[in-house]
Amino acid sequence: MRMPEPDAEVVARKGEIVKALQEIVPGEGVIFDPKELAAYESDGLTAYRQPPLITVLPETVEQVSGVLRYCHEQKIKVVPRGAGTSLSGGALPLADGILLGLGKFNRILEIDYENRCVVAQPGVTNLGITKAVEHRGFYYAPDPSSQIACSIGGNIAENSGGVHCLKYGLTTNNVLGLELVLIDGTVLRVGGKHLEAEGYDLLGLLTGSEGLLAVVTEVTVRILRQPATARALLLGFDSSEAAGDCVAAVIAAGIIPGGMEMMDRPAIHAAEDFVNAGYPRDVEALLIVELDGPEAEVNHLIERCSDIARSKGAVYERLSQSEEERAVFWAGRKAAFPAVGRISPDYYCMDGTIPRHRLPEVLRRMREMSERYGLRVANVFHAGDGNLHPLILYDANRPGELQRAEEFGSEILKLCVEVGGVLTGEHGVGVEKRDLMPSMFSETDLKQQQRVKCAFDPDHLLNPGKVFPQLHRCAELGRMHIHRGQVPFPDIPRF
Amino acid sequence: MTENLKPDTPEQLEEAVAWAVAEKQPLEILGQGSKHGWGRPVQAAATLDMSGLRGITLYEPEELVLSARAGTPLAEIQAALAEKNQELAFEPGDWAPLWGGAAGAGTIGGMLGCNMAGPRRIRQGAARDHFLGFSAATGRGETVKSGGRVVKNVTGYDLSKLLCGSFGTLAAMSEVTIKVLPKAEKSRTVLVLGLDDASATKALSAALGSPHEVSGAAHLPAQVAEASEVSYVRAAGGPVTAVRLEGPAPSVAARCASLRQELAAFGETEELHSRNSALLWRELADLTPFVKQPELALWRMSVAPTEGARLASKILEQRPGLHFYDWGGGLLWFGLSPGGDAGEAVVRGALAGTGGHATLVRAPQEVRQEIPVFQPQPAPLAALSRRVKEAFDPHGVLTPRRMYPEF
């Protein structure tokens, strides 16, 4: 993975930069000792490592603004970091850049039950928000698997999803307002406790912008009342086609389950060996269909789902009879990644999304690739929304295997795009999928995205080297070649 | 006389914009013009009539996805969805009659350009939340695409969000992809009678904080309730607070019974069943109270729900008006006399400090020319918005100054 060439001049000025930053963030907030910096050298994508030049841990918005203003004036690159759980290398540091850690922004500022929202600093964990309101029967809906550790600020950067987003939406559908700091130190607010931010939807643009546009210093999110009840159905099928048909039939019947997850045989076996969830071992595909909501509704819909499953050839069916049993159904799915970690020294988690009906074809072609690359693959799948997480099993200690796993992964993602899907459903582009962007977007598309970047950060100082395979200078992107008189009056119908 | 360019293909659309750039002739992008009166008056050399780019290009009900050319009539899309028992869950209103137009007008592109959202906004979001991807010609005369046809997608910036609600000022969409959802089987509405605005907000807040999955939460002061087409609402003889429940029949019946019990603490309750329930929420989505009073200027204010009633009373202290609340009290519709500044000083003065914003949705052209139609932004935010505009349309050829006088 090629990152922008470090600026030797900036690296040489490290001592001076440390002093200047210490003026802005007094105390222990500036970390420059190489041993301590090692703690920040990677995020959840551990295959890539690079210690930053300096790490800064500000505690106030004024400090964030001061650090960014200084970096902007001095043309020093900045990589923002939340909890560092990104699976796409979104928080991978730069050798000549400041790592701006938001970990000290860890307070919940306001809980407003009447307006059903929480105002939090960006370093609060995703689960921390739910924990703060659950005693009153509320929760924050998006629930990425890393929710115990990942920060709400990082969720904004990545537009995180989770298993419930078919019914409850992604981060972008649950954020009401942001306070943010631009690279020149300007502090702005968009949205608030009301619905619909005014003017252009910058709130929507910033969500999922992977730390390339601004640094978020405060977040207002919607909270929902917890569903009165939830029940889960465990369904086994002889083929992934049959399981896929069942998912389609449930949705065609007008039912939007709270969660609908699929696992293939290798994933079922790994999970069952690890947590003994009681999954059947003799099926090719397992579905967990969870219905949540008012009790009368859940009981009614569970029966309909069960009828549909039988009509689609389910060979195994079990309905959770208690909260404990429902938790056990999920335990296997939620432990799928570590379970796979037990059967292989290393695994590489992919994150493409496909139109659901293309699943059988995608699984078949992945099996062919698996044989060709000589690497096993296990699949877990957010079946409701088509988000696929193939886990490629490899051993980093065997020469060439990591590279083979990465090539295998790239081929899977290109296949996702080929069948009408996308490169990443919820993990982000980061550095990991950066060089695959041209398989989904034309040069013109990517240039337009970078023009939006230029509106926020004309010098490419915020998180450069992520998302875009090629950095164009903003002046070059702004140029337009107009040949007056050479564009004929358009030859199109007019009245 | 203004030209009217009517491209039939994305290539012709690109060519039309390239011509506008080369000749420095601004274009006003129009679908069917059903919401033409919303926004600042646009001075353009030509209109870019999108209605030639028409037709549903993909509809897969089991995948909950639909793609269409941007000029496709919304009615055509809604009819196709209804055939499969699906709908646009965010409940866009039919607003053409607000400006005296025929009911049922409008295109999918126009609906997205205005980021429409009806009463179900509180549960299902707005158009922005269902807009998955697009192809569009930017003000550079280049066709770009963003997003895709799947719901879960974080590949690149979410430019769909920017285009949604940009009123044709950033790009001319040629094709769009949206998420669609199954229609609810049943709808019932619990009414609480006789509440003043402040108590109504509390009742709505209690309903929205309950586990009953409320999909509509509105309050109609007496003046609005009395003019309703729904006999139960009209006959109430005072203010009516309405809470909608939707879903499978047994679920709706059970939730309705529980909610009535819980809301009984606030006042006398009543319930509307399928037909009447649908009629009431259609009235509110379509802003019928203001269709019936075409002379009023119409303001739309979005605030934290607990601020709504206070805001309304501040305005009413200074100026008589017709108002109702949607979105649990957080969306305030206000009809005021269109004279002078159409109440701008009063409205925006009352709004100060709430964090919310106000848009003048309907007013005579000379008023919209003079006063800020959209909420004025603080200088740094306005500067950023302008840079975003320039990133798409550096020469200002697309629907210039529809949103802000400067660009």
Q: What is the pLDDT of residues A328-345, one digit of tens each?
A: 999 999 888 889 888 999
* Same domain flag for B84 and B3: yes
Report how far apart, in Å, the C-alpha atoms of A364 and of each of A281, A361, A440, B280 are.
20, 5, 22, 51
Backbone angles phi, psi at B72, to 5 degrees: -65, 130
| Residue of B61, B210, B247 with shortest CB distance to A225 | B210
Contacts for B137 with CB less than 8 Å, ≥ 6 apart: B10, B13, B14, B16, B17, B143, B171, B172, B174
Give the domain CATH number at B157.
Answer: 3.30.465.10
**Mean pLDDT, residues A298-327:** 96
Same domain, yes or no, for B163 and B225? no
Among B238, B267, B285, residue at a domain's last position: B285
CB of B156 less than 8 A from some CB of A: yes
Which of B9, B153, B359, B388 should we substitute to test contact with A (largest number of A Cβ atoms within 10 Å)? B153
Tell me how far apart the alpha carbons of residues A421 and A353 are, in angstroms, rounded to a whole number: 5
Q: What is the pLDDT of residue A197?
A: 81
Chain A neighbors of B329, CB-CB under 8 A: none
CA nearest to A427 within chain B: B154
Instruction: Test A194 with B18 for CB contact under 8 angstroms.
Output: no
Section A77-86 average pLDDT: 96
Q: What does the H/E/C string look like for chain A?
A: CCCCCCCHHHHHCHHHHHHHHHHHCCCCCEECCHHHHHHHCCCCCCCCCCCCCEEECCCCHHHHHHHHHHHHHHCCEEEEECCCCCCCCCCCCCCCEEEEECCCCCCEEEEECCCCEEEECCCCEHHHHHHHHHHHCEECCCCCCCCCCCEHHHHHHHCCCCCCHHHHCCHHHCEEEEEEECCCCCEEEEECCCCCCCCCCHHHHHCCCCCCCCEEEEEEEECEECCCEEEEEEEEECCHHHHHHHHHHHHHCCCCCCEEEEEEHHHHHHHHHHHCCCCCCCCCEEEEEEEEECHHHHHHHHHHHHHHHHHCCCCEEEECCCHHHHHHHHHHHHCHHHHHHHHCCEEEECCCECCHHHHHHHHHHHHHHHHHHCCCEEEEEECCCCEEEEEEEECCCCCCHHHHHHHHHHHHHHHHHHCCCECCCCCCCCCCCHHHHHHCCCHHHHHHHHHHHHHHCCCCCECCCCCCCCCCCHHHHHCCCCCCCCCCCCCCCEC
pLDDT value, residue A163: 85
Number of domains in chain B: 3
Question: Which of B268, B285, B302 finishes a domain?
Answer: B285
Query: Which of 128-147 (B) contact A at CB < 8 A?
Result: 128-129, 138, 140, 142-146
pLDDT tens sequence across B183-198: 999 999 999 999 999 9
pLDDT for residue A491: 60
Pair B173, B33 in one domain: yes
pLDDT at residue A485 is higher than 60 = no
Residue A236 pLDDT more than 80? Answer: yes
Residue contact A294–B355, C-beta within 8 A: no
Name chain B contacts of A385, Cβ cutoff 8 Å. Answer: 150-152
- Could you tell me the strand order of the sheet in which A377-382 lies? A316-319, A229-237, A285-293, A259-264, A377-382, A387-394, A346-349
Measured from the Cβ of residue A90, the count of other Cβ atoms closer than 10 Å reads 30
Is B145 found in the same domain as B263?
A: no
**Whether B294 and B262 share a structural domain:** no
Question: pLDDT tens digits for A3-19?
Answer: 888 999 999 999 999 99
Contacts of B349 (CB under 8 A, 6+ apart): none
**Rounded to an integer, what distance in angstroms lies between the CA atom of residue B300 and that of residue B168?**
20
Q: Which spans in B146-248 are helix H?
A: 159-163, 197-208, 222-225, 231-235
The answer to whether B377 contacts A198, with C-beta atoms less than 8 Å apart, is yes
Range of the domain at B339: 288-370
CATH architecture of the domain with range A8-101: 2-Layer Sandwich (3.30)
Please check whether residue B159 touches A, CB under 8 A: yes
Contact B398, B168 (CB under 8 A): yes
Q: Burial level of A311, CB count in 10 A (0-12/13-18/19+)?
A: exposed
Distance (Å, whole) CA A182 – CA A197: 18
Report pLDDT for A85.
Answer: 93
Instruction: Tell me which chain A residue has its CA closest to the CA of residue B205.
Output: A114
Residues B153 and B236 in one domain: no
Interface contact A186, partner B, CB < 8 A? yes
A188 touches chain B (CB under 8 A): yes
Return the H-helix or E-strand segment holding B64.
none
Is-contact A79 A65, C-beta < 8 A?
no
Closest Cα to residue A189, out of A199, A200, A178? A178
Task: Assess whether B109 and B241 both reside in one domain.
Answer: no
pLDDT at B3: 83
Q: Tell me, yes or no, whether B356 and B391 share the same domain.
A: no
Q: Which CATH architecture has domain A227-432?
A: 3-Layer(aba) Sandwich (3.40)
Please state, in angstroms and rounded to a whole number, the distance separating the CA atoms of residues B180 and B64.
5
The whole-angstrom distance between A468's CA and the closest CA on chain B is 8
Report the Cα–Cα distance between both ends of chain A, in Å, rounded: 54
Side-chain-side CA neighbours of B375 within 13 Å: the count stands at: 25
Distance CA B231, CA B285 (A): 18
Same domain? B199 vs B246: yes
How do beta strands A117-120 and A108-112 pair?
A: antiparallel
**Residues B253, B314: one domain?**
no
Do B177 and B295 share a domain, yes or no? no
What is this structure's pTM? 0.96
Q: What's B321's domain CATH number?
A: 3.30.70
The DSSP letter of residue B252 is: H
ipTM: 0.97
B263, B193 contact by CB (below 8 A): no
Q: Distance between CA atoms of A210 and A208, rounded to whole angstroms?
A: 5
pLDDT at A479: 85
Q: What is the pLDDT of residue A464?
A: 96
Q: Which CATH number fits domain A108-225: 2.40.50.140, 3.40.640.10, 3.30.465.10, 1.10.3720.10?
A: 3.30.465.10
Touching B: A residues 235-254, CB under 8 Å = 248-249, 251-254
Residue A382 contacts B where some CB pair is shorter than 8 Å? yes
Q: What whole-number distance in Å separates Cα of residue B227 and Cα of residue B280?
A: 11
Indicate if the pLDDT at residue A205 is higher than 80: yes
Residues 239..278 of B with a Cβ closer than 8 Å to A: which?
A: 247-248, 250-251, 253-255
Domain termination site, one of B247, B269, B285: B285
A486: confidence class by pLDDT, cuts 50, 70, 90: low
Mean pLDDT, rounded, of chain A: 94
Q: CB–CB of A182 and B384 under 8 A?
A: yes
Dmax over CA atoms of chain A, in Å, equals 75
Residue B103: other Cβ atoms inside 10 A: 13
Q: Domain residue spans in chain A?
A: 8-101, 108-225, 227-432, 442-488
With CA atoms as reference, the chain B residue closest to A444 would be B144
Q: How many CA atoms lie within 13 A of B149 on its CB side?
A: 23
Q: What is the pLDDT of residue A145?
A: 85
Interface of B with A in 339-368 (CB under 8 A): 355-357, 359
> Would you call A490 and B12 a contact, using CB atoms and an 8 Å cutoff?
yes
| B126 vs A: CB within 8 A | yes
pLDDT of residue A482: 61
**Of residues A195, A256, A296, nearest to B251 (C-beta):** A296
A451 in contact with B at a CB cutoff of 8 Å?
yes
Q: Across the strands, what pairs with A139?
A: A224
B200 interfacial to chain A (CB closer than 8 Å): no
pLDDT tier for residue A493 given thresholds of 50, 70 and 90: low
Rounded to a whole number of angstroms, the distance from the CA of A159 to the nearest CA of chain B is 7
Q: Is A177 left (phi over 0), alpha (psi -120 to 50) or beta?
A: beta
Of B154, B380, B394, the CB nearest to A428: B154
The radius of gyration of chain B from alpha carbons, rounded to an integer in Å, stands at 21
Mark whether B335 and B244 lie in a shared domain.
Answer: no
Q: Report yes or no: A291 and A301 within 8 Å, Cβ to Cβ.
A: yes
Written as six digits, the tokens of A111 are 């809980």
CATH number of domain containing B271 = 3.30.70.2190
Which regions of chain B are under pLDDT 50?
1
B51 close contact with A: CB closer than 8 A = no
Tokens found for residue B238: 């005072």
pLDDT tens for A22-54 read 999 999 999 999 999 999 999 998 889 999 999
Helix B379-392 / helix A443-456 crossing angle, nearest 10 deg: 160
